[in-house]
Structure 1
């Protein structure tokens, strides 16, 4: 009897709740506190029981879905960071987990509140003169007249956020740009994050976000320095120095354009493109250089699209000889000589006629001898010489024309 009572009392002992799973609890998702930090683009959540598998996904318009495995913070919070996605067009974020053999899913839909078309557009930034940064944008097509845009920048995912201190205004007083003159110490791994939002008394303004700007690719370099061109007999050797840059980068990521033109020519020569080297050099055969040429150079990052300004043009080559001028001078000399010859012949002929008048021929001289000195034959000789000289002069004048 005592054994039977002991067995019955064992059955009546309440069971520990941890020893079994409530069927209703199995249907409750372990995902709680699902949140999105839109600035950091970080999705966070907690789990109220153990999970064996997790995955997070972002699906944004115009971009393919991106999935990744969550990380765990020190306080046990799970998180996923989508730094290469944009949120201003809206997005759907999803967390999928497996817990105790069951699959669960939690979804967060993000919307960019505000009037459609009120946010800033055409945003761009560039670094120039090694240490300055300029950003610009345009007013949204549906933005109200009193819109006031705000630009925020941070240099790392968890870095401090700073608002622009020097805004650029358009003629109506709207903020359309910003100048930064304190960029901090440069690092080749720098990525710049930007966010433009706005305020208005009329309506909410949509924000504009971006994928990270790779700092090394948005720098506008100064023009290449020390451009020279010298002839070594076989080639014109064109050399230049790499520009001073904000970041310590390899010369091989620099991309140069050489503009070589012949002075006075109406046709344009195609540009020459060349990757950077430790010693930049371009060889142009001397035989290909006739007359004076000029060369100028500009540079950009090989993966960027912002060119530097053109550097000063450097002349090289020799002027062509002016054969036309030389021919004109030569013809002038020949014509002058012909004219002097004609004048001399005319003078001699006139002198001969005067001599005949002063010293008439002696009748006793033999006819053969006297005939050789007759005025008629001498006059004919002078006439033919004068006509020949005139013909030569006329031909030379025609050639000169």
Structure 2
């Protein structure tokens, strides 16, 4: 049984090799051009259509002018690239393949590639020299946006005196709007003679890679009854935080509490010392650095005057309440006017004054139910 399995395996390998090296094949010299990102070949004769597949037909695309297929991001791991040629009837379909990069007999690529974001605007990557890499190897580090395929090179690669550990730092303050949530870190290399060194890569989300800086207390106020403080955390990739506040009142033992807002109220604070640290609320990651301890003395006399930001907030709330009260009164008056409209007053045509409620207007030409004699009065003059 084992012999039959071995025989079938050898037959399959023989068929693949014969297909791969067929001298009458419609295409030959299948190769990867890493500089341009093209999977290209030499075309022999006329074909109707050529299709490229990556890793056993998981991804496919039609060839450009039957000459090449564009590979946007060439992975550093060994990948199967297959090209299928439709020669049209009555000929059958032909296919050939390559592995790129070729499997290493001895590891020369950079090892233990790790990257992290720190101090808000800096991204540092560190790696070790491959075990079989030559002593004159020169590594290069690239940062790539996998969605837009934009790539930036880290220009200052540093090495330790023995040439075994390397690191490079990006200033990403100008790249934060060009980077997406996902990033690809690529390390490739070469020797002084021009020999290429296989690449290493790391693909990761940027938000969990960040080591958050310590929070900065921006506002604080206190008296003997209570204390108020607010703080901020700077980040280009994280926006939802959780905080741990450590408080020590006087000589008492320090205690900690977790909060989800960037503010805290303390009652009967007295003299206290506080420090704060933060972490992202979306990922289960370690806490960031503690802020420097800050000491506050709340003796009552200092706290008699509210801080400017709290005073402005209270004034704004008072104005909003006053405006709401005015609108409520106006609305109630308007509703009353609609439900109980006032009776209009008549105007005295002689004195040009408003009539009282006992006067009424009448028209001598209009018929009335009561027949009253009407006499004309002529005014000769004033006495």
Q: Name the TM-score, length of structure 1 as normaliser.
A: 0.49
Trace 1:2-401 onto structure 2 (pairs within 5 A): 34-38=30-34, 43-44=39-40, 48-51=46-49, 54=51, 56-58=53-55, 67-73=58-64, 75=65, 77-79=67-69, 81=71, 83=73, 86-87=75-76, 89-96=77-84, 98=86, 100=88, 102-112=92-102, 116-143=106-133, 146-153=135-142, 155=144, 162=153, 164-174=154-164, 176-181=166-171, 184-190=174-180, 191=183, 193-199=185-191, 206-212=197-203, 218-226=209-217, 239-243=230-234, 245=236, 251=239, 254-262=240-248, 269=256, 272=258, 274=260, 280-281=261-262, 286=267, 292=272, 294-300=274-280, 302=282, 308-314=288-294
Q: Offset of 1:100 from its aligned partner?
A: 3.3
Q: Deviations over 1:210-248 (max 9, x none)?
A: 145555664545433235566799987653224153xxx
Aligned match of 2:302: none
Q: Residues 297 and 134 from structure 1, CA distance in 2 versus in 1: closer, same or farther, beyond 3 angstroms? A: same
Q: Distance in 1 between matches of 2:127 and 2:219?
A: 39
Q: Offset of 1:139 from its aligned partner?
A: 2.9
Q: Residues 318 and 231 from structure 1, CA distance in 2 versus in 1: closer, same or farther, beyond 3 angstroms? A: closer
Structure 1: stretches of 5+ with no match in the other structure: 1-26, 59-64, 275-279, 320-401
Contact 1:46–1:76 (8 Å) recurs in 2: no
Task: Tell me how large the CA RMSD over aligned residues is.
Answer: 4.8
How many residue pairs get aligned? The number is 268
Q: Distance in 1 between matches of 2:68 and 2:224?
A: 71
Q: Distance in 1 between matches of 2:267 and 2:215?
A: 24
Q: Distance in 2 between matches of 1:180 and 1:283?
A: 36
Q: Residues 250 and 205 from structure 1, CA distance in 2 versus in 1: closer, same or farther, beyond 3 angstroms? A: closer
Q: Offset of 1:158 from its aligned partner?
A: 6.0
Structure 2: stretches of 5+ with no match in the other structure: 1-22, 300-383
Q: Offset of 1:56 from its aligned partner?
A: 0.9
Say which structure is richer in helix: 1
Q: Distance in 1 between matches of 2:67 and 2:95?
A: 17
Q: Residues 123 and 211 from structure 1, CA distance in 2 versus in 1: closer, same or farther, beyond 3 angstroms? A: closer
Q: Residues 49 and 273 from structure 1, CA distance in 2 versus in 1: closer, same or farther, beyond 3 angstroms? A: farther
- Which of the pair has more CA radius of gyration? 1
Q: Deviations over 1:276-331 (max 9, x none)?
A: xxxx43557859x8994634123458469586533233457989xxxxxxxxxxxx
Q: Distance in 2 between matches of 1:303 and 1:228?
A: 28
Q: Residues 170 and 265 from structure 1, CA distance in 2 versus in 1: closer, same or farther, beyond 3 angstroms? A: farther
Aligned match of 2:320: none
Q: Offset of 1:258 from its aligned partner?
A: 1.5
